[in-house]
Chain A
Amino acid sequence: MCLALPARVVSIHACGDLAMVAVGGVRKEISLALVEDVQVDDYVLIHVGYALNRISEEEARRTLALFAEAGLAAEGGT
């Protein structure tokens, strides 16, 4: 509960506010409106269709490992 998923930014739409991200094996479109200066290959935390903040690759890896340890498989979307 109250969880946000780490995702890697795969591409950014020309308008700058939408991005395709990879969450586990799934790709989905999210809004970047809440976060400034996101680049392709950055990691972001996503929740209900929005990137909430940028995190490091290391934080993303540790977060996914914790999800797995908690029995939560991060292959789904929001």
Chain B
Amino acid sequence: MSVEGGLIIALAREGGRVRGVTIRSTRPVHAARVFEAKTPDAVLQLLPLLYSICGTAQAQAAQSACERALGITPLRGVRLARELLVCLETAREHLWRILIDWPAVVDEDSQATLAAPLTKLLPDARNALFVDGRAFGFEVKLHAADWALHDLAGTLDALLERTIFGCPAREWLAITDKPGLDNWSRNSGSIAARVLRRVRDNGWEGIGAITPAFLPTLPDAELAARLAAHGIDGFISQPDWQGQPRETTPLARQQDIPLIRSLLASGGAGLLSRQAALLAELAGVPARVRALAEAMLAGGRGESDTDGAYSGVGLAQVEAARGRLVHRVELERGGVRRYQILAPTEWNFHPAGAAAQGLMRLPAADTAVLRRLAALLINAVDPCVGYDLRVD
């Protein structure tokens, strides 16, 4: 395996069904130790270099964890602008998945070039919002370029309509059930619609369906206690909550919107529910960006709550594209004594977690079909690393 590690996912077949699923991770969950003995400021400068996949969510989590440890409260406008950048990153990651991974379902090549304008939108927004494009650190400054905020949601809307939905995102979000989704996929020519159509025609909508155990809201204090007590070799590499592996994915976040609630009720947490949740979350980004931009424009940027007291320990939970990302820092004499990162892939690809459970339920009469369906399901749960799929 390469430096960033990966997953080795092995399926054992027997009598037309999957007899066993083994997921082994070689991800370097120890890498955050490199921040030990560094100052919080140095951590915020270095961390985006190391964790560049979902680098904005990673930087946001590090920033919040360090601020809480130090008792610093960021300016309101800075907080909103950072949240806006995390939203744009989520949109970019989801768009990449749809345009890069999904075309294989309909035997087409990746359409990654369509994603280039959105790839550029994130650094453009960062540069428009923050002086020198520096969004993270303790000395950041916002630009007064309000025009950029007005343009952002509209640009995103137009891009998503053109590449994914074939209609304004808010219209797509008015779909509340499977007949409505079928109607959209029948009538839109976008790659996302054609993929959903093929999934339906092939009878793949319910593959890998499980009864999901979504990760609930976690109280900071309880989560911090688990991290402090268990550390690298237990909780961070194979996390559980209240004794069972949990799922933290776009499906978990979108479970309460009408369309996803309807799909979960009728077909469980299978392929279609996961694909629809990704689309729903993507469709919701322009409205979130618009709301954040309006809050920035309306509320002034310089107000700040009073700083808290130095505690020396900080924890942050950030919703990154693939699920909840947790950072925890302990400070001592101005430097980092301990730095811990708990990433969504460790929850979702836990050896007994959502991906493993779904893979166990795949039809396995034919090795080639099993391999194809397994790849579809793995991509739908979406690890943030490469994986090696083995079928015996």
A-side interface residues toward B, CB under 8 Å? 1-5, 17, 31, 33-36, 45, 47-48, 50, 52-53, 59, 62-63, 66-67, 69-78
Q: Which residue of A lies closest to B101 (CB)?
A: A48
Shortest distance in angstroms between B87's beta carbon and chain A's nearest beta carbon?
Answer: 18
Q: How far is the CB of A12 from chain B (nearest CB, A)?
A: 15
Contact partner of A2 (CB less than 8 A), chosen from B49, B115, B384, is B384
Instruction: State whether B58 touches A2 (Cβ < 8 A).
Output: yes
Nearest Cβ distance between residue A34 and chain B, in whole angstroms? Answer: 5
Contact residue among B2, B34, B115 (Cβ-Cβ distance under 8 Å from A34): B115
Of B63-71, B116-124, B201-209, the one touching chain A: B116-124
Given A33-B113, A53-B119, A62-B49, CB of A67 within 8 Å of CB of B386: no
Judge if B50 is at the interface, Cβ distance under 8 Å: yes
CB-based nearest B residue for A74? B3
Residues of A within 8 A of B34 (CB): 66, 69-71
CA gap between A35 and B5 in the complex, in Å:
24
**Considering only CB atoms, which chain B residue lies closest to A26 in the complex?**
B2
Instruction: Sort chain B's interface into a size bin.
Output: 35 or more
Assembly CA distance A35 to B120 (angstroms): 8
User: Does B51 contact A5, Cβ atoms closer than 8 Å?
Assistant: no
Could you give, for residues 106-135 of chain B, a 1 whenever the CB lies within 8 Å of some chain A CB and a 0 otherwise?
000010110110011001000000000000
Q: Residue-by-residue, is B46-60 near A (CB-CB < 8 Å gives 1, otherwise 0)? A: 100111111000100
Residue numbers in A under 8 Å from B234 (CB-CB): none
Cβ distance A47 to chain B, nearest Cβ, rounded Å: 6
User: Of A1, A17, A34, which is in contact with the most chain B CB atoms at under 10 Å from its CB?
Assistant: A1
Contact A76:B52 (CB < 8 A) given known A1-B28, A35-B119: no
| Interfacial residues, chain B to chain A (CB-CB below 8 A) | 1-5, 27-31, 33-34, 46, 49-54, 58, 96, 100, 110, 112-113, 115-116, 119-120, 123, 341, 343, 345, 384-386
Q: Given known contacts A1-B4, A34-B112, A73-B3, is B50 in contact with A67 (CB within 8 Å)?
A: yes
Q: Is the CB of B52 within 8 A of A3?
A: yes
When chains A and B are docked, how far (Å) is the Cα of A2 from the Cα of B382?
A: 12
Residue from B112, B119, B385 within 8 A of A1 (CB atoms): B385
Contact A66:B30 (CB < 8 A) given known A2-B58, A47-B4: no
Contacts of A17 in B (CB 8 A): 113
Which single residue of chain B is at the shortest CB-CB distance from A62? B49
Are A3 and B50 interface neighbours, CB within 8 A? yes
The CA-CA distance from A53 to B124 in the complex, in Å, is 13
- Which B residue sits closest to A65, measured CB to CB? B49
Pick the contact of A36 from B31, B58, B120, B384 — CB < 8 Å? B120
Question: Once the chains bind, are B110 and A33 in contact (CB under 8 Å)?
Answer: yes
Q: Is the CB of B112 within 8 A of A33?
A: yes
Chain B, residue nearest A77 (CB): B2
Does the CB pair B53–A70 fall under 8 Å?
Answer: no
Residue of A nearest to B237 (CB): A1
* A1 in contact with B120 (CB, 8 Å): no
- Chain A's closest residue to B345 (CB) is A1
Known: A66-B50, A70-B34, A70-B50. A3 touches B3 (CB 8 A): yes
12 pairs, A vs B, C-beta closer than 8 Å: A1-B29, A2-B52, A3-B28, A3-B53, A5-B4, A34-B116, A35-B116, A36-B116, A48-B386, A70-B28, A71-B31, A76-B3
- A1 contacts B343, C-beta separation under 8 Å: yes
